[in-house]
């Protein structure tokens, strides 16, 4: 569970139990109270999540020479321990290639990041030796370079070379209409593109670019995608509907095949791309998709063959079922597609009343929270025979508990 973002770059941790001050001190742009952070720790415990975060890097924590200091990181770590919490991993800060925007650090370059990273690592070794370091955490949007900004290559080529336990990057396939018109040829995105092969494949290029940097400078270090969603700037309105579930699940299938260890979706309950509506707290289609992925798709990736245009198939070991296999079939076309699978099979077919509906159907039945606010039972449909017909513009999870796959011991 990641708690970070642009706001975290310049937040002041108010290390007392008083209400939040009216204004942040000079050098900071926001206030984080103990009570707020305590709720973060409580939530992480409740869902049994390892917490990933970042620290303040704005002018308020820098010395006379402009070098980062742990003046805010230290009390946050100490308070976290005092309430029985733990931070598993941390990026130094959020998106260093946009430091001017995120932290007000004009002219921040790879040399400055290298210097700060060395100080940060020294602090971690002494103050929190179990804390894993994640980086560099740069962001790319629509695979277009940020004008004048350093790249992941620049960050890792700097000396002394920044060292991390996990290599991280952020990726958005486009920019929402909040910040760019949908017809912007470079970064804009309209819903008419949402099921196209070129849109879905954008995540591959971002991965390949960053993997090449990782391989050159930190071979063997696991890759994390620590922030991603439908589009930057809060997402397009259709990010909250079924049409984005194709991208959401396809991205996970692709990156699992590529070897990405962890994907952090932005966000749980904020803006258009939140998994949960932020006012009614009703799950959106991507929430249900995430739940099925977590219950069915184990960490062992299997070979399902190359991606076919219009029908993307991914296979992984069935979670918590020795020998079992789980298949994800994504049909982006307007025609049904035949898929040969083993038997017996249990099918979880996802569809909707329309592509841009916020209602998700599982085997024809609407998914919604129960009256007791608990997640309902997710019932599969038993498949007859070995040919699965994947409906037009739909997504199927197929569980094969008796596959006896030797790779799924």
At 283-298, the pLDDT tens digits run 999 999 999 999 999 9
CA 44, CA 49: separation in Å to the nearest integer?
5
pLDDT for residue 94 is more than 90 = yes
Structure-token pair, residue 17: 């139990």
Q: What sign for the dihedral angle of Cα 236, 224, 323, 303? A: positive
Q: From the centroid of its chain, how far is CA 275?
A: 11
| CATH fold of the domain at 2-299 | TIM Barrel (3.20.20)
Residue range(s) of every CATH 2.60.40.1180 domain in the chain: 311-408
Paired with 383 in beta bridges are 345
CB within 8 Å of 314: residues ≥ 6 apart:
253, 254, 256, 257, 297, 301, 304, 327, 328
The mean pLDDT of 115-132, rounded to a whole number, is 98
**160 preceded by a cis bond (ω within 30 of 0):** yes
CA 336, CA 111: separation in Å to the nearest integer?
54
pLDDT for residue 384 is more than 90 = no
Task: Give me the pLDDT at residue 77, please.
Answer: 98
Whether 33 and 20 have beta carbons less than 8 Å apart is answered as yes
The mean pLDDT of 323-350, rounded to a whole number, is 96
**DSSP assignment of 124-171:** HHHH-TTPEEEEEEEEEETTBPPTT---HHHHHHSSSPP--SEEEEEE
pLDDT confidence band for 169 (50 / 70 / 90): very high
pLDDT confidence band for 143 (50 / 70 / 90): confident
Whether 229 and 266 have beta carbons less than 8 Å apart is answered as yes
Paired with 318 in beta bridges are 297
Residue range(s) of every CATH 3.20.20.80 domain in the chain: 2-299
| CATH fold of the domain at 311-408 | Immunoglobulin-like (2.60.40)
Task: Give me the pLDDT at residue 186, please.
Answer: 84
Long-range contacts of 332-338 (CB under 8 A, 24+ apart): 332/195, 332/196, 332/197, 332/200, 332/246, 332/393, 333/392, 333/393, 334/392, 334/393, 335/392, 336/389, 336/390, 336/391, 336/392, 337/310, 337/311, 337/389, 337/390, 338/387, 338/388, 338/389, 338/390
Q: What sign for the dihedral angle of Cα 184, 189, 193, 199? A: positive
DSSP 325: E
What percentage of the chain carries pLDDT values higher than 70?
100
- Look at residues 295, 346, 253, 291 and name the one whose alpha carbon lies nearest to residue 283: 291
pLDDT per residue as tens digits for the range 237-261: 999 999 999 999 999 999 999 999 9
Task: Give me the pLDDT at residue 206, please.
Answer: 96
pLDDT per residue as tens digits for the range 340-357: 998 799 999 999 999 999
Q: What is the dihedral of CA 380, 381, 387, 391, to 10 degrees?
A: -90
Structure-token pair, residue 119: 């100080």
The mean pLDDT of 330-337, rounded to a whole number, is 98
Task: Give me the pLDDT at residue 147, please.
Answer: 81
Structure-token pair, residue 220: 């063997």
Task: Give me the pLDDT at residue 294, please.
Answer: 97
pLDDT for residue 30 is more than 90 = yes
Whether 253 and 290 have beta carbons less than 8 Å apart is answered as no
- Look at residues 236, 231, 147, 152 and name the one whose alpha carbon lies nearest to residue 187: 231
pLDDT for residue 145 is more than 80 = no
Q: What sign for the dihedral angle of Cα 293, 299, 303, 307? A: positive
Q: Kindly report the average pLDDT of the chain as a whole number.
A: 96
- Look at residues 143, 131, 23, 30 and name the one whose alpha carbon lies nearest to residue 74: 131
CA 393, CA 409: separation in Å to the nearest integer?
34
Query: Rounded to two decimals, what is the model's pTM?
Result: 0.96
């Amino acid at each position: 569970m990641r708690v970070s973002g642009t706001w975290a770059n310049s937040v002041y941790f108010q290390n007392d139990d008083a209400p939040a001050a009216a204004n942040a001190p000079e050098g900071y742009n926001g206030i984080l109270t103990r009570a707020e952070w305590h709720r973060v720790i409580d939530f992480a415990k409740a869902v049994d999540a390892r917490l990933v975060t970042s620290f303040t890097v704005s002018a308020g924590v820098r010395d006379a020479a402009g070098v980062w200091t742990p003046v805010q990181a230290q009390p946050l770590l100490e308070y976290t321990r005092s309430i029985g919490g733990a931070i598993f991993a941390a990026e130094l800060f959020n998106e260093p290639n946009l430091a001017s925007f995120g932290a007000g650090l004009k002219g921040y370059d790879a040399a400055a990041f290298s210097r700060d990273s060395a100080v940060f690592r020294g602090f971690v070794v002494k103050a929190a030796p179990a804390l894993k370091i994640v980086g560099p955490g740069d962001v790319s949007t629509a695979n277009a370079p940020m004008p004048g900004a350093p790249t992941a290559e620049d960050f890792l080529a700097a000396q002394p070379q920044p060292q991390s336990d996990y290599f991280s990057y952020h990726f958005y396939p486009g920019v929402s209409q909040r910040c760019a018109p949908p017809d912007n040829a470079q970064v804009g995105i309209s819903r008419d593109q949402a099921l196209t092969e070129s849109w879905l494949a954008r995540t591959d290029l971002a991965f390949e670019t960053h993997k090449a940097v990782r391989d050159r400078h930190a071979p063997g270090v696991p890759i994390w995608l620590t922030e991603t969603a439908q589009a930057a700037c809060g997402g397009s309105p259709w990010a909250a509907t079924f049409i984005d579930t194709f991208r959401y699940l396809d991205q996970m299938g692709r990156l699992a095949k590529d070897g990405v260890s962890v994907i952090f979706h932005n966000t749980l309950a904020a803006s258009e791309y939140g998994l949960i509506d932020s006012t009614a707290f009703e799950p959106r289609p991507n929430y249900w998709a995430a739940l099925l992925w977590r219950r069915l798709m184990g960490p062992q990736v299997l070979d399902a063959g190359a991606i076919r245009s219009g029908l993307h198939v991914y296979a992984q070991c069935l979670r918590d079922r020795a020998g079992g296999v789980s298949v994800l079939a994504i049909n982006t076309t307007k025609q049904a597609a035949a898929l040969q699978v083993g038997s017996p099979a249990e099918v979880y077919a996802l569809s909707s009343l329309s592509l841009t509906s916020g209602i998700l159907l599982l085997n024809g039945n609407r998914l919604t929270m129960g009256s007791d606010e608990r997640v309902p039972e997710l019932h599969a449909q038993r498949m007859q025979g070995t040919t699965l017909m994947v409906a037009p513009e739909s997504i199927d999870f197929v569980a094969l508990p008796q596959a006896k796959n030797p790779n799924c011991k």
